[in-house]
Amino acid sequence: MFGRIRKLSTLLICCSLGLLLPILTLSAATYQSTIDSPLEANFESHIKRKRRQQILATTDRTSFVVYDISKNKKLVSINENRQMMAASLIKNFVMLAYFHEVRHGRQSHTSANKGHLQSMIQWSSNPSTNYFIRLLGGPARVHRILQANYPYFKQTRIVEYIPRGGRTYRNMTSARDLSMFCLQLWKNRLPYSDKMKYYLKLKNGDYIFKHTYIPSSVAVYNKTGTVYGLVGDGGILVLRDPKGKPRPYVFIGMIEDRSKTNRRNRWQSFTTWRNRRAYILRRLSEQAYKYIYEKHYGGRLARR
């Protein structure tokens, strides 16, 4: 009798494992298929080379996301959940909180507010950013708006006004949250997405399009973030495939060195320090464009 019970138990366990195995296999396959390793490997190789050349210091931390919206496929995920200093990248989320309140009738989209929005996004005005934070009830209130209504922004924290001089170190975000913002924005799932796209499309000093070989026909919706300690840019680029069809994709790049928040560690001029990291973002943005255009949509770029 005990022998029969043992056999029955063994049979049930085997059957259970047989049912679970396809589920586990499917989950693993699904996860792996979201990362396109050749492009990610190129990014990692580029970053390692810059470290060997001592252009990036040992204290520099990097975070990247590339996501092809048309293919619904993530191509690069490097430290995307790492919480980093937001610098002016936080302005995306301040704009979102403002439009959330406009949608619910607690704020009005006045001419004055339109002017401040343009200054905040296009010219990265810190006084205009503080204007909106104050208008919405302070940093804690802006953070609560985001937390209560957009909980998928998991690493974003708004805890301070931008200080005089622009050295904002306490507001935080991540490449993942920025990529989620871009994806939700493009799919019109955020309040007044069309208006936010308008402001993000205004020409600005970007690190992912200007001074690259990406053609002028590509539309760019982006916001930069720069402080001595963080150089970042994130947005949506819309290329045209060989048949002329628009193909949007997300590029987020962040390079952070928290040791630079201490003035004693600023042995290099801010301009030189920033430009070296902006150069890296531009070259990686070129790689992403080339890969998506050629590998996903069959285009051909002239050899460089």
Q: Check residue 14 and give its pLDDT.
A: 44
For residue 15, is pLDDT > 70?
A: no
For residue 32, is pLDDT > 80?
A: no
Cβ atoms of 199 and 117 within 8 Å: the answer is yes
Q: Check residue 303 and give its pLDDT.
A: 63
Which tens digit of pLDDT belongs to each residue from 88-120? 999 999 999 999 999 999 999 999 999 999 999
Burial (CB < 10 A; 0-12, 13-18, 19+), residue 82, is middle
Q: Check residue 24 and give its pLDDT.
A: 35
Cβ atoms of 39 and 65 within 8 Å: the answer is no
Distance CA 176, CA 111 (A): 33
Q: Check residue 18 and give its pLDDT.
A: 42
pLDDT band at residue 199 under the 50/70/90 scheme: very high
The domains found in the chain, sorted by start residue, are 35-296 (3.40.710.10)
What is the value of pTM for the model shown?
0.88
Which tens digit of pLDDT belongs to each residue from 205-234? 999 999 999 999 999 999 999 999 999 999
DSSP H or E stretch at residue 96? helix 91-103
More reliable by pLDDT, 21 or 239: 239
User: In this prediction, what percent of the chain has a pLDDT beyond 70?
Assistant: 88
pLDDT band at residue 36 under the 50/70/90 scheme: low
Q: Check residue 27 and give its pLDDT.
A: 35
Specify the pairing of strand 61-68 against strand 219-227: unpaired
Which tens digit of pLDDT belongs to each residue from 113-152? 999 999 999 999 999 999 999 999 999 999 999 999 999 9
Q: Check residue 37 and give its pLDDT.
A: 73
**Closest to 284 in 3D by CA, of 214, 216, 223, 191:** 214
What's the chain's Rg over C-alpha atoms? Answer: 22
Cβ atoms of 85 and 258 within 8 Å: the answer is yes
Lowest mean pLDDT among 30-39, 47-56, 173-182, 233-242: 30-39
Residues in the chain: 304
Numbers of helices and strands, H then E, in the chain: 9, 7
CA 61 to chain CA centroid, nearest Å: 15
Question: What does DSSP assign to residue 157?
Answer: B
User: In this prediction, what percent of the chain has a pLDDT beyond 90?
Assistant: 87
Q: What is the mean pLDDT of the chain?
A: 90
Measure Cα distances from 85 to 12, 43, 109, 149 in Å.
52, 21, 29, 22
Cβ atoms of 65 and 74 within 8 Å: the answer is yes
Q: Mean pLDDT over residues 257-278, rounded?
A: 96
Q: Check residue 304 and give its pLDDT.
A: 57
The tokens for 95 are 């704009």
For residue 10, is pLDDT > 90?
A: no
Q: What is the 3-state secondary structure (H, E, C) of 47-58?
A: HHHHHHCCCCCC
For residue 276, is pLDDT > 90?
A: yes
CA atoms within 13 A on the CB side of 98: 26
pLDDT band at residue 302 under the 50/70/90 scheme: confident
Q: Which residues contact 102 (CB under 8 A, 6 or more apart)?
A: 108, 109, 191, 192
